[in-house]
C-alpha cells in the first residue's frame, strides 16, 4: 500500500523547527514552517513555488503512478514523464516476448505513434489539499468507543469527498494523519492513458539486480519514460487513438551542471508507508510475525521460480516481474530485521515508552487522559501477534504462492454469473473474464505453479498451527491424501481448468457452476479466502485497542514535546523531504563516497552473470569517453549519488531536485545499513540512492540516439 499522522495546527505553527534538515516527510501544503531551515541549507525557492492552488508550481509536475505505487515527474510540455525502470517493469515485461524482448534490449519510441498503451496504468495529479480535521473531530463526542468513532469518521469522510467531487471529474480521498489526530482532504485528477515511451535494457536499468538491491555503492541506470495522454479537451480519458498528449501546468527543467558534496537537494513524491511511531511491542511483532515469515516464504518461492527461469527464456520473461516484486521485499525484510537488531531499536522504543510513562504519571490530568495508552497498545499487539503471523504465511504462501488458486477465486464470481443464462450483462462479464484470463495465462507456466505450490503447502504446514489451516489442507491434503502433498497437487492440476489455458477456453464455451464446485483448485482458493476472513475477524478487537492506544500515545507525545515539529508518517500522499548530498561511514574504517561513475560499472562487469552484463554499446561509449555535455569537468561520468533525504517505498521514481527546483536525479533506493528507517530514522546512516539525470540522458542520447525525446526537454547549466 496506509493512512496516518498531525495534532493542533496552531500548536504546530507555533513550534520551533526541527534542528535536522534530513528527517521528516513533510506535507507541501504546510511547508512554510520548514522554510527557515531549508533556506539556511541553500534552498532558493519559496513555499509558494512548491505548493499553490493559484499558479503553476512544482507540485503540478509530480505524479502518483497508479495511486502511489511509485512516483513520476513531468519533464516536457507534452506530457513526457520520468520514473524508475523498476516502476515501469510490469509494463516493459508485458510488452516483451521471446521474439521482441524489451527487457533485454530496451525500448525507445521514435514517434508518438510508436508509444505503447498500458491498460490499467494511471497518473494521479494532485489538485489541492484541505485540512478537514475540525470538520471530522468535532462530530466525535468524548468517550466514543473505537468502533463508533470509526463509523463517524467514515461517514464524515464520505460526505467531504462527495462535496469536493460533485459535478467534477475529480477524485478525492480523506487521509488520517498522526494516528487519527488530523485529517486532510486530497483532490486529484486521474489520467488513465499512460503510454510507454522509453526504457533502457535490463543490463542498464536493473544493473546489479538482487545482488546490489538496497546496497551502496550502486551503478544502476534505474529509469523509464512514459507519456500521459488526455481527451482533446484536456480532460482525463481512457485510452483512445483520438487522445492527445497532456500539457502539464509545470514540468521540471533539467540541470546539466551537476552537484557537489553538501549541496542542497529535495525530493517530492508519494512515499507509501512508514511506522515511525511504532511501539516496542509493534516493532517486535513486525520482526517476527511479518519480516521473518515473509522472508522465509519468499526465499523458498523465489528458489522454485529461479530453477525454471534459469533454463527457459520464455519462463524468464513470464516470471521476471513477479520475481522482481517478490525479491524486493524479501531482501527488505531480511535487511530491516538486521538493522533493527544491530541498532537496538526495540530498546530505544522502550526508553521512549518509559519516558512517556514517567511524564504521564507526574500529573493526574495527564494520567486520566493518556494513562491507558501503552496498556492498550501492548494488549492489542499481543492479542493479535499469532494471528498476524498466520496471516503473513497464509497470504505469502497460499494466496501469492498458489498462483492458479488465486486466479480461480478472482474469476469465480464472473464465471458463476455466466453459468446462469438469465444474467443480463453476460457479454460485459464475459469480456472481463476473458481479459483477465488472457492476462493471467500470458505470464503463467503450469509446471512452475505446480512445483511451487507443493513447496508452499509443505512450508505452510510446517510453520503454521493447524487451527489456521484452510479446509482443503485439513480435509483433503492431510485427510483424503494422508499428507501426500505431491499426489494431491498432481491430481488437482490434472483435473482443474484454472491451470491450463486450453481447458479454461473450452470451459468458457459453456461455463458450468456444478463443474466449478468440483474443481479442486477453485475449492482450494475458496478455502484459503475463507480462512483469511476467519483469521482477520479474530484481529478486530486487538486492532481497536491498538488504534485507540496509538492515537492517545501520539497525542501525548506531541503534548510532552511541545517544541518539536512532528512529521506525519508516510501514507501515499504527496510529501517533500529536504537535505544535502553526501557520503557516509557505515562501519569502522569504512567510508563511502557520495557518487559513483561509469568506471565502476565496468569494474563490476561479469559476462558470466546476467546481473552484471554490460551492453557492448555502453562499453564502447565508455572506452571512447564519449560523454558529451553530460561529463564532469574531469571527464568522468557520474552514474549514481546519495543524499540524506528521508524516503521510503512509493518514493521510487521521485524527482531529486537542486536548490532551484531543477531535476538532478531520480530516487530509486535506500541503503542496506539503514533498513530500519521505516520504523526509526537513523540520521548518520540513512541515505537516498539516486540515479544521476546526466546518466539517464547519456543513455537516451548516446546509447539510443533518442533525439526526439532529448529535444522535448528544457536544460540549464
Catalytic residues: 86, 222, 652
Residue partners of 92: CB distance under 8 A and separation at least 6 = 85, 102, 103, 107, 196, 199, 224
Residue partners of 197: CB distance under 8 A and separation at least 6 = 80, 108, 109, 115, 225, 226, 227, 709
Q: In a 3-state reduction of DSSP, which class is residue 190?
A: strand
For residue 663, what are the β-bridge partners? 254, 657
- Contact between 207 and 219 under an 8 Å Cβ cutoff? The reply is yes
Q: How far is CA 650 from CA 58, 63, 329, 407, 689, in A?
A: 18, 11, 13, 26, 14
Distance of alpha carbon 249 from alpha carbon 62, whole angstroms: 11
For residue 688, what are the β-bridge partners? 643, 670
Task: Considering only the C-alpha atoms of the chain, give the largest distance between any 2 of them, rounded to a whole number of Å.
Answer: 75
Within 10 A of 125 (CB to CB), how many other CB atoms are there?
21
Distance of alpha carbon 214 from alpha carbon 699, whole angstroms: 23
Distance of alpha carbon 355 from alpha carbon 353, whole angstroms: 5
Residue partners of 600: CB distance under 8 A and separation at least 6 = 217, 219, 639
For the four alpha carbons of 663, 668, 673 and 678, in that order, the dihedral sign comes to positive
Cis peptide bond prior to 217, omega within 30° of 0: yes
For the four alpha carbons of 475, 480, 482 and 483, in that order, the dihedral sign comes to negative
Q: In a 3-state reduction of DSSP, which class is residue 121?
A: coil
The vertex-432 CA angle with 430 and 438, nearest 5°, equals 100
Residue partners of 589: CB distance under 8 A and separation at least 6 = none
Give 353-379 as a 3 state SS string.
HHHHHHHHHCCHHHHHHHCCHHHHHHH
Q: How far is CA 256 from CA 638, 641, 692, 714, in A?
A: 12, 15, 10, 10
Distance of alpha carbon 680 from alpha carbon 657, whole angstroms: 25
Amino acid at each position: 500500500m496506509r493512512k496516518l499522522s498531525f495534532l493542533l495546527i496552531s500548536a504546530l505553527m507555533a513550534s520551533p523547527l526541527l534542528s535536522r534538515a534530513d528527517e521528516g516527510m513533510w506535507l507541501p501544503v504546510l511547508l512554510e514552517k520548514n522554510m527557515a531551515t531549508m533556506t539556511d541549507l541553500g534552498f532558493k525557492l519559496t513555499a509558494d513555488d512548491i505548493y499553490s492552488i493559484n499558479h503553476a508550481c512544482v507540485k503540478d509536475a509530480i505524479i502518483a503512478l497508479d495511486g502511489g505505487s511509485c512516483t513520476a515527474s513531468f519533464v516536457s510540455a507534452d506530457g513526457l514523464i520520468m520514473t524508475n525502470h523498476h516502476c515501469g517493469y510490469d509494463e516493459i515485461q508485458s510488452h516483451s516476448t521471446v521474439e521482441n524482448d524489451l527487457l533485454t534490449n530496451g525500448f525507445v519510441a521514435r514517434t508518438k505513434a510508436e508509444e505503447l498503451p498500458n491498460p490499467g496504468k494511471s497518473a494521479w495529479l494532485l489538485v489541492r489539499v484541505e485540512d478537514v480535521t475540525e470538520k471530522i473531530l468535532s462530530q466525535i463526542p468524548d468517550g466514543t468507543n473505537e468502533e463508533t468513532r470509526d463509523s463517524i469518521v467514515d461517514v464524515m469522510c464520505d460526505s467531504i469527498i462527495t462535496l469536493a467531487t460533485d459535478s467534477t471529474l475529480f477524485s478525492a480521498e480523506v487521509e488520517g494523519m498522526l494516528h487519527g489526530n488530523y485529517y486532510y482532504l486530497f483532490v486529484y485528477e486521474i489520467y488513465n492513458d499512460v503510454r510507454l515511451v522509453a526504457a533502457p535494457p535490463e543490463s542498464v536499468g536493473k544493473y546489479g539486480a538482487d545482488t546490489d538491491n538496497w546496497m551502496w555503492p550502486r551503478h544502476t541506470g534505474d529509469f523509464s519514460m512514459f507519456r500521459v495522454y488526455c481527451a482533446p479537451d484536456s480532460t482525463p480519458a481512457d485510452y483512445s487513438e483520438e487522445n492527445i498528449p497532456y500539457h502539464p501546468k509545470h514540468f521540471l527543467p533539467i540541470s546539466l551542471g551537476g552537484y557537489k558534496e553538501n549541496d542542497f537537494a529535495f525530493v517530492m513524491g508519494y512515499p507509501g508507508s512508514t511506522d515511525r511511531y511504532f511501539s516496542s511491542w509493534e516493532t517486535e511483532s513486525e520482526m517476527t510475525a511479518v519480516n521473518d515469515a515473509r522472508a522465509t516464504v519468499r526465499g523458498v518461492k523465489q528458489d522454485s521460480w529461479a530453477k525454471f527461469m534459469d533454463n527457459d527464456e520464455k519462463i524468464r520473461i513470464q516470471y521476471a516481474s513477479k520475481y522482481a516484486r517478490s525479491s524486493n521485499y524479501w531482501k527488505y525484510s531480511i535487511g530491516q530485521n538486521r538493522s533493527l537488531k544491530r541498532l537496538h531499536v526495540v530498546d530505544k522504543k522502550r526508553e521512549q515508552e518509559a519516558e512517556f510513562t514517567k511524564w504521564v504519571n507526574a500529573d493526574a490530568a495527564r494520567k486520566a487522559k493518556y494513562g491507558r495508552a501503552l496498556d492498550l497498545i501492548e494488549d492489542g499487539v499481543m492479542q493479535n501477534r499469532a494471528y498476524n503471523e498466520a496471516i503473513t504465511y497464509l497470504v505469502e504462501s497460499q494466496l501469492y504462492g498458489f498462483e492458479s488458486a488465486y486466479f480461480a477465486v478472482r474469476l469465480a464470481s464472473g464465471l458463476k454469473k455466466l453459468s446462469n443464462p438469465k444474467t443480463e450483462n453476460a457479454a460485459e462479464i464475459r469480456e472481463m473474464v476473458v481479459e483477465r484470463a488472457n492476462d493471467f495465462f500470458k505470464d503463467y507456466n503450469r509446471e512452475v505453479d505446480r512445483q511451487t505450490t507443493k513447496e508452499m503447502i509443505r512450508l505452510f504446514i510446517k510453520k503454521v498451527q493447524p487451527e489456521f489451516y484452510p479446509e482443503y489442507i485439513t480435509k483433503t491434503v492431510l485427510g483424503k491424501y494422508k499428507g501426500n502433498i505431491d499426489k494431491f497437487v498432481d491430481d488437482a492440476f490434472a483435473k482443474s481448468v484454472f491451470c491450463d489455458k486450453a481447458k479454461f477456453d473450452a470451459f468458457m464455451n459453456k461455463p458450468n457452476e456444478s463443474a466449478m464446485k468440483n474443481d479442486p483448485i477453485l475449492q482450494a482458493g475458496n478455502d484459503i479466502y475463507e480462512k483469511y476472513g476467519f483469521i482477520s475477524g479474530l484481529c478486530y478487537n486487538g486492532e481497536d485497542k491498538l488504534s485507540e492506544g496509538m492515537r492517545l500515545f501520539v497525542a501525548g507525545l506531541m503534548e510532552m514535546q511541545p517544541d518539536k515539529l512532528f512529521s506525519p508518517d508516510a501514507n501515499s500522499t504527496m510529501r517533500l523531504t529536504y537535505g544535502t548530498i553526501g557520503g557516509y561511514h557505515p562501519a569502522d574504517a569504512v567510508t563511502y563516497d557520495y557518487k559513483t561513475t561509469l568506471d565502476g560499472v565496468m569494474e563490476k562487469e561479469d559476462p558470466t552473470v546476467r546481473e552484471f552484463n554490460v551492453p557492448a554499446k555502453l562499453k564502447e561509449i565508455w572506452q571512447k569517453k564519449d560523454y558529451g555535455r553530460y561529463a564532469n569537468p574531469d571527464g568522468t561520468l557520474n552514474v549514481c549519488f546519495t543524499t540524506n533525504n528521508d524516503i521510503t517505498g512509493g518514493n521510487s521514481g521521485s524527482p531529486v531536485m537542486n536548490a532551484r527546483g531543477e531535476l538532478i536525479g531520480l530516487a530509486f533506493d535506500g541503503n542496506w545499513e539503514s533498513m530500519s528507517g521505516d520504523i526509526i530514522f537513523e540520521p548518520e546512516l540513512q541515505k537516498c540512492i539516486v540515479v544521476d539525470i546526466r546518466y539517464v540522458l547519456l543513455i537516451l542520447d548516446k546509447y539510443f540516439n533518442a533525439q526526439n525525446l532529448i529535444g522535448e526537454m528544457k536544460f540549464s547549466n
